[in-house]
Amino acid sequence: MANNIVLAVLLVAPLLVLVNGQEQKIGDYRGRFEREKCDLYEGRWVYDDSYPLYDSTQCRFIERPFACQRNGRPDKLYLKYRWQPSACNLPRFDGVEFLRRYRNKRIMFVGDSLSLNQWQSLTCMLHAATPHSHYTLQRMGPVRTFIFTEYNVSVMLTWNVFFVDIERKRYGRILKLDKLEDTKTWQGIDVLIFNSWHHWLHTGTKQLWDFIEDGKYIYKDMNRLVAYEKGLKTWARWVDESVDPGKTKIFFQGISPDHLNASHWGKHNGKNCSGERKPMFASPYPRRQHPAEVVLEKVLRSMSKPVQLLNVTGLSLRRKDAHPSVYGVGGHYGMDCSHWCLAGVPDTWNQLLYAHLTTHH
């Protein structure tokens, strides 16, 4: 999977794009889109007064860690930025068209709290498009299901941060890098969006395992990037052996960056994302790929079945302003520079998902 993913945009439905700030039917630009090959992930953040895509107060189901305005964040400029690809325009999200297209189907996010972040974004984007439509929100074990009953569309989330199995033994919890059996909830899903990385780094009380098993050997610990690659390869084998691309589309949410160190964007008197109000409009330094990006893309390139990478790392890296900071779950006693406010950056991730789902490439 190349670092710059190229999308040839071929149109199959009347969509809207923003051209010079004005919405136009995408069909009016059919020739341009069909001629050009556009990297949707290469671009910049631009101010757009029509943003955000929704009023987050319409979505009372957004959980506290992401509800920055409800939690008292006083500024709103961070809500007004739109991702603008360099060579084309990103299709404007059409929630009704999305629901019609996926009538009687199921979409599932699989991963950690950043998957929760993106899942809550998508459910709010769709709810805002059909605010008077009935919905149900269910939870059974690790699976949450948001059903738009008029369309019978299920947007689901299942908590699975490593993909590979964790087994409990009398001497502790074993993370088994070469074993993946708990896939029952993934079976028969029409669209799967996977995400895994941040929990591979956790230590101390946040670490969800006590030992790592790799083949015949058990370790107290190992290089986390090496463990991540081994776990991803096990997941990749499951996809290659078990998924029918004619029935299930597979996506992988790229590595979501944090902004815990302000010196990374040239602010040497700052500590983290606290008080940031604007994006980085240009990177202050040549961007090197995140080590986990390199591993993820290496594994995806090795696969025989198609998996579309949502390559969101670079565009998200510029949004130091869009984290909850003290307006998340911990209030002024906590600092969250890892997750994202809603409305916010995950809405763009879902616009990119929408672009891939609604175009042939």
Q: What is the DSSP string of 80-96?
A: GEEEEESSS-PPBP-HH
> Residue 206's pLDDT is what?
93
Active site residue 113: yes
Q: 47 pairs with which residues across the strands?
A: 81
Residue 266 has pLDDT above 90, yes or no: no
Average pLDDT score over residue span 94-98:
96
Is the pLDDT higher at 26 or at 192? 192
Residue 235 has pLDDT above 60, yes or no: yes
Which member of 48, 75, 113, 182 is catalytic?
113
> Residue 4's pLDDT is what?
45
Active site residue 339: yes
> Residue 29's pLDDT is what?
37
Distance of CA 358 to the CA centre of its chain: 17
Kindly indicate the confidence band of residue 182, based on its pLDDT and cuts at 50, 70 and 90. Answer: confident
> Residue 165's pLDDT is what?
96
**Percent of the chain beyond pLDDT 70?**
87
Report phi then psi at 256, rounded to 5: -85, 120
Which member of 112, 258, 336, 347 is catalytic?
336
Which member of 127, 199, 339, 356 is catalytic?
339
Q: Are 293 and 317 in contact (CB under 8 A)?
A: no
| Mean pLDDT value across the chain | 88
Q: Is 254 left (phi over 0), alpha (psi -120 to 50) or beta?
A: beta
Q: Are 265 and 280 in contact (CB under 8 A)?
A: yes
Kindly indicate the confidence band of residue 25, based on its pLDDT and cuts at 50, 70 and 90. Answer: very low
Lowest mean pLDDT among 121-135, 272-286, 318-332, 347-361: 272-286
Active site residue 202: no
Rounded to 5°, angle at Cα 234 from 238 and 41 = 85
3-state secondary structure 180-193: CCCCHHHCCCCEEE
In 3-state terms, what secondary structure has residue 352?
helix
Residue 294 has pLDDT above 80, yes or no: yes
Q: How far is CA 50 from CA 47, 76, 82, in A?
A: 9, 13, 9
Nearest to 211 by CA among 160, 264, 171, 152: 171
In 3-state terms, what secondary structure has residue 128?
helix
Residue 17 has pLDDT above 90, yes or no: no
HSE (side-chain half, CA atoms, 13 Å) at 328: 20
Tens of pLDDT, residues 111-143:
999 999 999 999 999 999 999 989 999 999 999
> Residue 329's pLDDT is what?
78
Full-model pTM: 0.88
